Amino acid sequence: MSDLLVAQNVFFGLIAVVMLVSAVRCVTTRNVVHAALWLVLVFAGSAALFILLGSEFVAVTQVLVYIGAIIVLFLFGVMLTRASMGDDASVASEKRAMAALVAVLLAAVMGLALFDSFSDTRLVIDEPQRFGVVSDAIFSQYIVAFEAVSVLLLAALIGAIVIARKD
Amino acid sequence: MTAVLEIAPFAILADLAYWQVTSIRAIAGLAAVLLVAGTLVYVHLFKLVSFMQSRLGPMEAGPYGSLQLLAETGKFLQKEDIIPRRADRFVFCTAPFVVLVSTFLLVVVLPAGPDAWFISNDLGIYLAMAVSSVSVIGILMAGWGSASKYSLIGGLRATGQLIAYELPLLLAVVGVVIQAETMNLQSIVLTQAEGEIFGWSGIGNPFILTQFLGFAIFMIALQAELTQTPFDMPVAESELVTGYMTEYSGLRFLLFFIGEFATAGVFSAIAAVLFLGGWYIPGLDAGSELFNVIGPLVLVGKVVLLSLLIFWFRFTFPRFREDQLQKLAWKYLIPLSLANIFVTAVLKVLW
């Protein structure tokens, strides 16, 4: 095992701890804006994990889409509608048991599925995934899926406009 | 892993340990951000604007007031750091750093010579655009954390504007990427340096000639991204004091101030790399070692030139209304930049 792998393991541990703490704080805090900001740390952690795996394109996309767009829209929406300082008592507490149950079930199913299919696969990372390789794969092998997703997003966009229009 | 961690192939740097190279890079990055920001504030904000308004500007500190910047920094450092009582302390205090970090990460992709770069990465301009969008979170944090209605409205206006103008900014770049066939900023510079205009290679082929529409859209969207004057609704002083910066004082205000001008500098540098040929000037071979020395100076020269445009606009045009501002982005700039991408792609395939 090379030195680089040791460094990777150390950083994986650090990032994982930060992500876990942020994820827990994200669901336990009673302040909606704080929850969104904790979520930023979770997404940043997952981007860092992708860099450790050598998938730079996915990492940068994670930052651009999740931190730069989705969280910004979250915060924008929350601040535009109810930007109360301090804790918000209306953040549901009676539904917590149900939410915890769903979370545990989801984690169990996904964990089992991942473990079942990949437990004996070893991921070999010799060098980072080149950007060109990713785009070649998207636009040749997965072109049908890519176009289908584009159409789906367009439909969602039009649907949102239809719902939002008053007349 | 390697492309992120690749060590600069400088002959002198080759023998240094990894931490030494990293320290040199960190210092170079700091210098690249702060010196350029200082130059812009002095040359443009203090002097150029003063002459446009028929006054002298700072004259007391040093020759022609050139030490005024140090005096101002000292003043800001001495000021009391006031935090409003109802503010969300942690969010309020971190916000300026989030904005500044996004600026410092931007500089990482910039090449300043054939061997003088921080990282040479395939993702290049895509990485820059992703990192620059993080500053919006800092602005929202500042607006909300201040617990003041002026700050909140300023933050919301800033966010609406930045979201709207990020799209034309990104789409304007796509034309250059299609023409250069790469996102790596270093390769974009080399493509321009080695290009030809109908067989004439006298000045290379700076993309401002073929991508003029892209350049115009990029500079307009950039003006809005920097919330400079025709687009300064978020900090409209007659309505909102200074928008999301209202409650900040002392060092934290200084950080926002540095962030504003440093971002102007770094984005001008990105525009110079994309459209004006970056560190290359015609007459020398692009692979020449000399460019490692004069390259950074050439780049700074182009940055001063481009930011001159930004500040010229800033002190010439009156402020847009909010609806005019959104209309310009969504109804004119985005369709135009999409048309630009389409035409560029068609011509690229035909040629």
> A100-120, pLDDT tens digit by residue?
899 899 999 999 998 888 877
In this predicted structure, the answer to whether residue B50 has a pLDDT above a threshold of 80 is yes
Chain A residues near residue B4 by CB distance under 8 angstroms? 51, 56, 128
B16 compared with A85, residue with greater pLDDT: B16
Domain count, chain A: 2
Tell me the pLDDT tens digit for each residue of A113-161. 988 888 777 777 777 777 778 888 888 889 999 999 999 999 999 999 8
In this predicted structure, the answer to whether residue B181 has a pLDDT above a threshold of 90 is no
Task: Record the tokens describing residue B227, joined without a space.
Answer: 């919330």
**Do A67 and A137 belong together in one domain?**
no
Chain A residues near residue B140 by CB distance under 8 angstroms? 72, 75-76, 79
CB contact under 8 A, B126 and A64: yes
Residue B245, min C-alpha distance to chain A (Å) = 17
pLDDT at site A92: 59
**Do A46 and A106 belong together in one domain?**
yes
Task: Record the tokens describing residue B88, joined without a space.
Answer: 């969300």
In this predicted structure, the answer to whether residue B296 has a pLDDT above a threshold of 80 is yes
**Do A49 and A105 belong together in one domain?**
yes
Q: Of B111, B128, B119, whose CA–CA distance to B6 is shortest?
A: B119
> Mutating which of A11, A79, A82 best tests the B interface, going by the most B Cβ atoms within 10 A?
A79
CB contact under 8 A, A128 and B2: yes
**Do A50 and A114 belong together in one domain?**
yes
pLDDT at site A86: 60
Query: For residue A53, what is the DSSP state?
Result: T
Q: Which domain holds residue A108?
A: 2-129
CB contact under 8 A, A64 and B159: no
**Distance set, CA B240 to CA A65, A84, B146, B243, B251 (Å):** 30, 20, 13, 5, 21
> Mutating which of A37, A66, A78, A124 best tests the B interface, going by the most B Cβ atoms within 10 A?
A37
Chain B residues near residue A83 by CB distance under 8 angstroms? 144, 152
Q: What CATH number is associated with residue A61?
A: 1.20.120.1200
**Do A41 and A73 belong together in one domain?**
yes
Say what the pTM is: 0.84
pLDDT, average across residues A91-107: 81
**Do A13 and A79 belong together in one domain?**
yes
**Distance set, CA A40 to CA A12, A64, B116, B178, B227 (Å):** 18, 12, 33, 32, 24
**Do A112 and A145 belong together in one domain?**
no
CB contact under 8 A, B140 and A61: no
Q: How far apart are CA B275 and CA B185, in angstroms?
A: 11
CB contact under 8 A, B122 and A131: yes
Q: How far apart are CA B278 and CA B243, in angstroms?
A: 34
**Number of H-type helices and E-type strands within chain B:** 16, 0
For chains A and B, CB pairs below 8 A equal 83
